[in-house]
Chains A and B, each alone.
Chain A
Amino acid sequence: MFGGLAPDGVHSRAIGQSATDGLQGEVPSPLQTTQPEPAPEVLQAQKQRIEAMRVASQATVGVFGVDGQGGGSGVCITPDGYVLTNFHVSSPFGHRMRCGLNDGKMYEAVVAGIDPTGDLAVLKMYGREDFPVAKIGDSDRVRVGQWCFAAGNPFVLATNLQPTVTYGLISGVRRYQYPAGTILEYSDCIQTDAAINPGNSGGPLFNAQGELIGINGRCSFEKRGRVNVGVGYAISIRQAMNFFWHLRSGRVLDHATLGFTVATDAKGKVTVSNILESSDAYRRGLRYGDEILRLDDRQIGTTNQLKNVTGIFPPQWRVALRFRNETDTVDTAIRLQNLHLPSELEEIVKGESSEEPRAPPKSPQQEPEDTPNPESPDTEQPKPGEPPKGAPPGRGLRGKEGASRKEKDSLADRYETKRGFSNYYFNRVELDRIVALQKPRNQWPKSDEAWVLSGTVVGETTNVQTRVTDGVIGFTLGDKTESVDSKRGWTPWIQQQSLVSLAFALRTWQQWHQSGPRMMGEAIYIGRSPLVGRTGLFDTTRITLGEVDSVIYTSPETGTIECIELFTDNQSDPAEIYFEKVQRNGGREIPERVRLAFGLETRLVVDIARSEWEPGTVLDSGKEDAGKEKGGD
């Protein structure tokens, strides 16, 4: 049965052979082939396929409720057990679920973050530190005509915890699927004819090499009932990985909007039809009528393409934009803004979680088009004599019976409620990780000492000095000195794009190292985000300091602060302070070159020559905060 099922790689032969392919003869007997043995390439390809599926199956997760009910799919991507799945798979289970792997074991799991708009969720499994992980592929290289396979738990068949694997073709790429009833929006998704059925949701789509290229989650059904009709959609792994660290923050995530809408005119131009004056795009010079040429290095020819690109990024990320106005072609970067209000997201999450598990449709005709396929927990009932689904006796993580599990939830301490979070516990975990990263370098002196940095403007002889204490921030440029309270009154300076903002960032730097993020204000781990002009992603923490939101980007490897952004509101540009060179001085990290920018425009670059601590001199309000000195976590 090799003739028609040749995988990727043997088509060069199969195409040439098609006329003589043994299976195509008029003779009905499959035994009468012209070749006694399958060609070696075919056998080799089959071997590779089997191996790819074997490895990929190990990381494929069956997602069940704590009582073994229901079921969807997921895929493990970190050895410590972080699992990607669909939001619509996790939401009926609340925050607790169990995950089955093909080692035959069930692992207790808890939800971390959720993304209702993008239909993603991250779960954390417990019980091993060496979970098998899927190799992350490159979804930007997926093309129509490539072979792929889905693995998962369709129709909750994986009662023995062995995933079902279905093979298929990439049918389309970069598809945009409008929100269907709910707010779930599939942008830039991969379309495949590999059978994706209810229960496959949240599971992995692999390329022929077994690399993870997408998260399956949606099908087109229309009038034919809830079974696959050759059309399934997967969220690209690029989108999933853009959101992964955000999901690990335990937050209820939002998606992004550009702050402007477009129309396609008669000549095929995509032009701005409406723009918010408060948007970053407006501040970067985009105006009504301007033509959008590229977003994130992708050419834009239709509205759907613009939506496709916007949908794969979290809000607040900056994305490269090229546009043309009447006179020029402009290359810039714009900061994406939130798509929903926090209250809107709350409503959505409330609605989804209280939703009863969906019953199978009464008749195929009632099935709306493109319904996301949630696991249908009540479509398959265990037959008498069979063990309850998903909970084979003796296979539980801790070998406990269901009864004892009900008595006390072993993961009760891994779940914390807080407004805006699906599980605040994970925000603490990530913040602890960042604090631990910088621990070796936060041996800072007591806070009643003034931290004085002296240097010069790069390329000039102008002297710069900053002097920060718990009471007053001093900033001297040339012969002019400004003093600002250390705790309040920053807003007008930042909004007027004053160079004093540089000193505010150094104050933030000082506090971060001296007392740790938690003692500075309300600290929330956001996820990982890019920085303009830098490769890779950086851990991002937002700290509310009075009226100013400080967003701090740290290296995921070393914990060193790379950039601090100071926001006063969403209507004006934040001050951006980049720490371009940092000196390690024993137990401390001291900035060596600091750059201040507003928008994308650099305003001041300072080379710092000296860093000194002066014993408490100008202290007015500092004493009352003595309790903060201990700091740390």
Chain B
Amino acid sequence: MKFRVPIFLAVIIAEFLANAPMQSLARESFGPVDSGAERIDASEESDLEVLLGRAERSVVKLYGAGGARGLESYQSGVVVGDGSLILTSWSTVLDVDKVRVVTFDGRRLDAEIAGVDPQCELALLRVPNSGLLGFELDPQNIAKIGQRVFAITNLFGIAAGNEACSSQKGVVMAMSPLTTRKGAMKTLYQGRVVVVDVMTNNPGATGGALIDLSGRLVGIVGKELRDEQAGIWLNYALPMDVIKNSVDRILSGQANMAAANTQAVPQPHRLNDLGIALIPDVIPKTPAFIDWVREDSIAARSGLKSNDLILLVNDSRVDSRKGLERILSTINRGDSFAVLVQRGQELIKIQVRP
């Protein structure tokens, strides 16, 4: 059998085998502690100090998979709503059972992935009892060109333990769809973004908060993007209306899933019957990568191809090869189903008809 492993998966496997950074991180744990910095009188603090001091408490450091070949094993997350949800970028960092959350005061929490939105490359994590205040997701809070903004992110993983994330100042310089640069930038998300004038989108910054001078959330810092032709890095965030829609979609998808029949059926779909071979299941969260598709099989006729990464099946998130098998086991062999696959930098919806 051919054995092809996509590069990023190889990296994850290598990381899993080497394993050291994540494990050592997981072993440590901190209780709530004083920041250690001597506080000065609040009266001496400027409004901006107060504003950022408050906002940086609602941005968390996230740790997961990665750590080699330019793939960071950390990123940033924004606490939203009642404090039990963390909004972040959907990335390989989240390819773990539990995402480690470290709060501004050094507490270490475990988060589960509540859902993902591949189109916006956003993920929602659920974390019980974070004790943190969440940002409000106000779709009206659209950034305007020329507006003063601040990015609060854990860029470069600078903040560790009970250190707060880093704050940067910037100005909104454009509101523009990423599609205008289609082909030049490797991005799944191709909608409108808030472009800022300073280098906010550094390694680890993705998933961080972009706030305005009133401390309101105006964007989620996007993934690192480099124009392949010009060699220029883009600094941008997803705007609030896009974020709000995405979060609503994720939350309603969850509701659908809960409502749907998740019981195994007597005669489900099986990968072999569909004509799909996935790459070998070597780590706990081996992504559902199609290794090869048998000629003239159901999968081949439906348009699935080798190297497709299966993200969703009937709007349910596929977090791993095992996850895919589990979902397929709930679908009757005679029923068709929808899959969302990532092929290169494209997202493709495919209806699989038996």
| A interface with B by C-beta (< 8 Å) | 3-6, 8-9, 11-12, 14-15, 18, 21, 23-26, 28, 140-141, 143-147, 168-177, 191, 193, 220, 222-224, 228-231, 264, 266-268, 297-305, 369-370
* A299 contact set on B, CB distance < 8 A: 33-34, 36
**Nearest-CB residue, chain A, relative to B151:** A230
* A297 contact set on B, CB distance < 8 A: 38
* B45 contact set on A, CB distance < 8 A: 143, 145
Number of B interface residues at 8 Å Cβ cutoff, please give it: 55
**Nearest-CB residue, chain A, relative to B30:** A268
Scan B45-58; emit 1 where CB is below 8 A from any A CB, else 0: 11111111100100
Q: Which of B4-12, B159-167, B254-262, B289-297 contacts A (4 or more CB under 8 A)?
A: B159-167
Q: Which of B115-123, B195-203, B312-320, B336-344 contacts A (4 or more CB under 8 A)?
A: B195-203
* A6 contact set on B, CB distance < 8 A: 148
CA distance A38 to B247 in the complex (A): 40
Residue B213, interface by CB 8 Å: yes
Asked whether, in the complex, the Cβ of B202 is within 8 Å of the Cβ of A301, the reply is no
Given A145-B46, A267-B31, A231 and B53 contact (CB-CB distance below 8 Å): no
Asked whether, in the complex, the Cβ of A193 is within 8 Å of the Cβ of B147, the reply is no
Given A18-B147, A222-B203, A230-B202, A11 and B155 contact (CB-CB distance below 8 Å): no
CA distance A381 to B215 in the complex (A): 46
* A174 contact set on B, CB distance < 8 A: 36-37, 163
Asked whether, in the complex, the Cβ of A268 is within 8 Å of the Cβ of B33, the reply is yes
B44, chain A: closest CB distance, angstroms: 8
* B163 contact set on A, CB distance < 8 A: 172, 174-175, 304
Asked whether, in the complex, the Cβ of A169 is within 8 Å of the Cβ of B46, the reply is no
Asked whether, in the complex, the Cβ of A298 is within 8 Å of the Cβ of B148, the reply is no
Given A171-B167, A172-B159, A222-B203, A193 and B198 contact (CB-CB distance below 8 Å): yes
Given A24-B147, A301-B106, 7 further pairs, Cβ under 8 A? A11-B48, A146-B49, A147-B48, A174-B36, A174-B37, A230-B168, A305-B36
Q: Which of B136-177 contact A (CB under 8 A)?
A: 144-148, 150, 155-156, 158-169, 171
B240, chain A: closest CB distance, angstroms: 15
Given A4-B171, A266-B29, A145 and B36 contact (CB-CB distance below 8 Å): no
CA distance A551 to B202 in the complex (A): 50
Q: Which one, B52, B144, B156, B168, contacts A220 given CB within 8 A?
A: B156
**Nearest-CB residue, chain A, relative to B150:** A169
Q: Which one, A23, A172, A231, A267, contacts B147 given CB within 8 A?
A: A23
**Nearest-CB residue, chain B, relative to A140:** B38
Asked whether, in the complex, the Cβ of B30 is within 8 Å of the Cβ of A301, the reply is yes
Q: Which of B166-220 contact A (CB under 8 A)?
A: 166-169, 171, 198-200, 202-203, 212-214
CA distance A168 to B158 in the complex (A): 18
B53, chain A: closest CB distance, angstroms: 7
A167, chain B: closest CB distance, angstroms: 9
CA distance A11 to B213 in the complex (A): 8
* Between-chain CB contacts (< 8 Å), 19 pairs: A5-B148, A8-B46, A18-B213, A21-B147, A28-B145, A141-B40, A143-B40, A143-B49, A143-B53, A145-B50, A169-B169, A172-B165, A172-B166, A220-B158, A231-B166, A231-B202, A264-B30, A297-B38, A305-B162
Q: Which one, B29, B33, B212, contacts A18 given CB within 8 A?
A: B212
**Nearest-CB residue, chain A, relative to B39:** A143
B165, chain A: closest CB distance, angstroms: 8
A150, chain B: closest CB distance, angstroms: 14
B50, chain A: closest CB distance, angstroms: 8
Residue from A15, A23, A169, A171 whose CB has the most chain B CB atoms within 10 Å: A171
**Nearest-CB residue, chain A, relative to B40:** A141
Residue B28, interface by CB 8 Å: yes
Asked whether, in the complex, the Cβ of B162 is within 8 Å of the Cβ of A230, the reply is no
Q: Which of B248-296 contact A (CB under 8 A)?
A: none
* B30 contact set on A, CB distance < 8 A: 264, 268, 301-302
Asked whether, in the complex, the Cβ of B161 is within 8 Å of the Cβ of A304, the reply is yes
* B334 contact set on A, CB distance < 8 A: none
**Nearest-CB residue, chain A, relative to B38:** A140
* B214 contact set on A, CB distance < 8 A: 15, 18
CA distance A224 to B231 in the complex (A): 10
Given A14-B213, A193-B168, A229-B202, A300 and B36 contact (CB-CB distance below 8 Å): yes
CA distance A173 to B28 in the complex (A): 23
Residue from A12, A146, A191, A304 whose CB has the most chain B CB atoms within 10 Å: A191
Asked whether, in the complex, the Cβ of B46 is within 8 Å of the Cβ of A11, the reply is yes
Scan B95-116; emit 1 where CB is below 8 A from any A CB, else 0: 0000000000010000000000
